[in-house]
A and B are shown apart, each in its own frame.
Chain A
């Protein structure tokens, strides 16, 4: 019997045949934390009383409240910087970008096992890495031992075929899928994405899907590593790290779901759960006070290029504030160089520094009572953007740009 991607990666990293349902101990290629989970990780790590297994495989990202909006958070940052300086763990400080984007750019490679104290660690699955989110203590122990225990997940295969229609993106596919299987539809499972529509996807589009695997409860969202993976690694100066990776033809899947992308339409998650989906065209008339474009889901250069293209020479609707946060410094610099930032600022956007920004409701775009935001992020739980009296809708960057132009939820095909 062949193996799924998850089984293959874990077999190699655990030095034992890993099959769905087994409990294995796998070597970890990267253990990382960010500034909301990092301080607790450091405390638990110190409690455990072991040294850092490998500082070169340990990273700390200050991205969630960066720059800091409050003295308590500043003190958390001081604490993290001190730990990094003392142990040699790699530190990524304010303005460098969202952890998952930086992991994709500079760390993840096919076949890796990555554990991060952040649920969206799954993002690196787009590069063929078994990347999964854990809590502070699990990551603290991975930092100390260089390994972690894992239950090898069963795999749900998602086969996406067909041609991508105009105005429809990978964000629409993943929102559609979560709407279909539910926010717990893949709990504990590996979601494995294959098919011609997947092969046709850019790395940026793949990262969006892998990122949101956790919104269906999945442990990982895995993509085979192919020519797109290779050129992405090369683009980031890491071409030599490429290895091809694909599931075996006779692998054992728990289920297979076929999706014809040519039938998808721009999709939106309504408040307050990600699986509460509807078509953008059916939400026409829903007024939006803020559009937020950014995050580890959709703050990449391709996203900014699309939005800038749609907004060039235009202004956002007077009702709707537009906040843009590039996901990394690299993306910001490229967007400046290509003129996207100028276009967006001319369209009235407030551009904030690379980082999580308004996504988790600490700063840079907290909503007022009764306000609605359409965001390109991955989560719309009650209170997510800092105010339980507000409403968050999730959609693709194209839907976000169309909505910013019209002041109400708008199907991007009306504008494109």
Chain B
């Protein structure tokens, strides 16, 4: 069970808004880069986010560049999951690969600052502030396994190869 506060963002939060090119020189210094997470979308976010909190977006979260630093610094900031209406493809894979859950559901009923409780197994989000409950789309099995291991690198270290579920 994950528990934390919602930080609400709008539609189309691009990887340029999460970690812009002008901070490229910090990419091999992740703790420093993480201080700027989502800075161009909300300059106060990095200072306010706490361990366990959620980033809640609208449509097409994470569109743009393939930079994996984007989900990585969101995770480093303590965020326990990203919740959005839809998520760009590369960002989705990257987030799972670094062990950051991505949950797809209608986020209109979640407001900035709401207290959320997420049950990854049940596939459901409870907004403790508003009382709202929403289910999220199931995560594909191969991704669930990767997530279970904490990311793709630990997954590969364990299995040595991709293991596809028997269909």
Contact = CB atoms under 8 A, between A and B. Distances in A.
Interface of A: 23, 25, 36-37, 39-40, 44, 47-50, 64-65, 70-73, 75-76, 79, 116-119, 121, 133-138, 140-141, 144-145, 147-149, 151, 183-184, 187-188, 217, 219, 273, 360-362, 366, 379, 381-384, 386-388
Contacts of B94: 134-138
Contact of A145 (B16, B63, B67, B161): B161
A76 B16 contact: no
A237 to B, nearest CB: 29
Contact of B65 (A44, A71, A119): A119
A184 B60 contact: yes
B93 interface: yes
Interface residues of B, number: 43
A71 B28 CA distance: 12
A383 B17 contact: yes
Contacts of A148: 162
B27 A40 contact: yes
Contact of A381 (B17, B140, B151, B156): B17
List the 8 closest pairs (A to B, CB-CB), nearest first: A135-B68, A135-B94, A72-B25, A361-B21, A360-B21, A184-B60, A137-B97, A381-B16
Contact of B17 (A23, A133, A145, A382): A382
B27 A36 contact: yes
A141 B152 contact: yes
A135 B97 contact: yes
Contact of A118 (B66, B97, B152): B66
Contacts of B29: 72
A64 B90 contact: no
A136 B140 contact: no
A36 B93 contact: no
Interface string B57-75: 0011001111111001000
12 contacts: A44-B152, A64-B24, A117-B68, A134-B90, A135-B68, A184-B59, A217-B60, A273-B12, A360-B65, A362-B21, A366-B22, A383-B17
Interface of B: 12, 14, 16-17, 20-22, 24-29, 40, 59-60, 63-69, 72, 86, 88-90, 93-94, 97-98, 140, 142, 151-153, 156-157, 160-162, 164
Nearest to B91: A135
A362 B24 contact: yes
A412 to B, nearest CB: 28
Contacts of B86: 184, 187
A137 B162 contact: no
Given A135-B94, A149-B162, A381-B16, A47 B27 contact: no
A193 to B, nearest CB: 19
B156 A144 contact: yes
A27 to B, nearest CB: 12
A124 to B, nearest CB: 15
A137 B151 contact: yes
A209 B18 CA distance: 26
A37 B89 contact: no
Given A137-B153, A187-B60, A72 B26 contact: yes
Given A25-B162, A135-B97, A187 B152 contact: no
B16 A382 contact: yes
A37 B28 contact: no
A188 B152 contact: no
Given A135-B67, A140-B153, 15 more contacts: A39-B28, A44-B152, A48-B156, A49-B157, A64-B24, A65-B24, A71-B25, A72-B26, A72-B29, A138-B97, A184-B88, A217-B63, A217-B88, A381-B16, A381-B17
Contact of A137 (B28, B63, B152, B161): B152
B66 A134 contact: yes
A217 B69 contact: no
B68 A40 contact: yes
A64 B27 CA distance: 13
A44 B162 contact: no
A361 B20 contact: yes
Contacts of B89: 187-188, 217, 219
B162 A147 contact: yes
B66 A50 contact: no
A47 B22 contact: no
Contacts of B162: 25, 145, 147-149
Nearest to A384: B16
